[in-house]
Homo-oligomer: A and B are copies of this chain.
Amino acid sequence: MIPVEEARNRILRALAPVAAETLPLAAAGGRVLARPVHARLTQPPADVSAMDGYAVRAADAAEGALLRVAGSAPAGHPFAGAVNPGEAVRIFTGAVVPAGADGILLQEDAEASEGRVRVGEAVRAGRWIRRRGLDFEEGETLLPAGRRLTARDVGLAAAANHPWLTVHRRPRIGVLATGDEIALPGEPIPPGGIVSSNAHALAALVRAAGGEPLVLPIAPDDEAAIAEAAEAARGCDLLVTTGGASVGEHDLVQSALGPGGFALDFWRIAMRPGKPLIWGRLGQTPLLGLPGNPVSALVCGVVFLLPALHRLSGLPDAAGPRTARVRLGSALPENDRRFDFLRARLERTAEGDVSVLPFPVQDSSMLKTLARADALVLRPPHAPAAATGDAVEAILLADLGV
């Protein structure tokens, strides 16, 4: 059995970001930049007004002064002339400050009548003017490669005049469920069998993490069938299998894939749930064999598959799923040599702080409990007993979109 960290590092070291594609800006939200976004212009492109009012010469605009309104400068319609001494130009937020003007008389401080405007409050030079380049300068790097584009980033790339962006394509992930005992939802269930849940849950996880799942037909517990199904995944960036990873006689994935050129790296991890986990390579395709147990499969999906997806997607820091520091709402015993991932719910205390409460029964067959969990509490090997109120690290599942 190898430790969780080492297993994850070996998985991540074996993977590289997938290639780039060109996408219209409007389709790039949520994707990971393969090339940085530089500013193609300076923003604002000139000194502009931060408010609605009048562009004036501050020296003229003492309280009570009366200025001649020489014209108007709405946003997008710059005033062609200059503001001469004794003059003002009507201006609106975002409009270019005309030549000669060096301050803005706010609309609420101005009293306009018959082509003139009276200054209600003295204007300070430079006040309410946004300087050219306040937001960004042409050529500046605005967004680095490796960044997953938020809605705000899409706005910034648009403002920097990019109709197209270069992003990593979505990693294609083959998902292969194996087992004589499983049937697709709605299909006849074999005697003693159960409904297959892993493949579609993992596909949803892949999609939530920005990947493109390819759900293969269920392979029965038969070497030829498994090898054939896996063949179908050769065009994938990663093949994920579920079932067939433990030591039982009926766990055939390892032996079935051997003739197809399967090279095993490791296959047992010191964690709970989820000990039996295969990592290797089928020809050119990396293969992650998850346990057949649905809870173990999904927890391993969070702990190993998500970081793998991040790495394939081109994200830079894929050391593991993001964790948060939270306070325990109940005590925990000392841990043994396996890394535990405890299903837990979060509770907001009366003081507004968050505490985490591991479910008392952690049986790995309880999918309902996993679905109701808000978090996985991390209990490293040999972690000492922890008391109520102690801080622990936890994976907040909702924040990962899974």
Contacts and interface: CB of A to CB of B under 8 A. Distances in A.
Interface of A: 25-26, 29-30, 41, 43-46, 50, 52, 73-78, 92-96, 107, 130, 134-136, 142-143, 149-164, 179-182, 184-187, 189-198, 200-205, 207-208, 215, 221, 246-250, 292-294, 298, 301, 324-325, 352-354, 363, 365-371, 373, 391, 393, 397-399, 401-402
A274 to B, nearest CB: 13
Contacts of A149: 204
A330 to B, nearest CB: 20
Contacts of A203: 26, 29, 154
A367 B201 contact: no
Contacts of A201: 151-152, 154-155, 158
Q: Which 7 A-B pairs have the closest CB atoms?
A: A76-B181, A155-B201, A29-B204, A163-B186, A78-B192, A158-B197, A151-B205
A69 B78 CA distance: 93
Contacts of A45: 192, 194
Contacts of A30: 204, 207-208, 401
Given A156-B367, A161-B186, A371-B150, A180 B134 contact: no
Contacts of A369: 135
A172 B293 CA distance: 39
A154 to B, nearest CB: 4
Nearest to A203: B26
Contacts of A371: 142-143, 150, 152-153, 155-156
Given A76-B221, A152-B367, 12 more contacts: A29-B203, A74-B180, A75-B192, A93-B248, A94-B181, A94-B293, A107-B247, A135-B366, A151-B201, A151-B298, A155-B294, A161-B195
Q: Residue among A159, A161, A369 with the most chain B CB within 10 A?
A: A159
Contacts of A195: 41, 158-161
Contacts of A398: 150, 399
Nearest to A366: B135
Nearest to A152: B371
Contacts of A160: 195
A163 B180 contact: no
A25 B221 CA distance: 25
A179 B247 CA distance: 67
B142 A368 contact: yes
A290 to B, nearest CB: 12
22 contacts: A26-B204, A30-B401, A43-B194, A50-B363, A52-B246, A52-B248, A73-B192, A92-B248, A94-B194, A135-B369, A136-B368, A152-B373, A153-B371, A155-B197, A155-B201, A155-B294, A155-B367, A155-B371, A156-B368, A156-B371, A161-B195, A325-B353
Given A155-B201, A204-B154, A352-B325, A93 B246 contact: yes
A354 to B, nearest CB: 7
Nearest to A80: B191
A193 B48 CA distance: 11
A172 to B, nearest CB: 16
A221 B194 CA distance: 62
Given A215-B26, A402-B150, A92 B249 contact: yes
Contacts of A157: 185
A180 B365 contact: no
A224 B104 CA distance: 31
A117 to B, nearest CB: 14
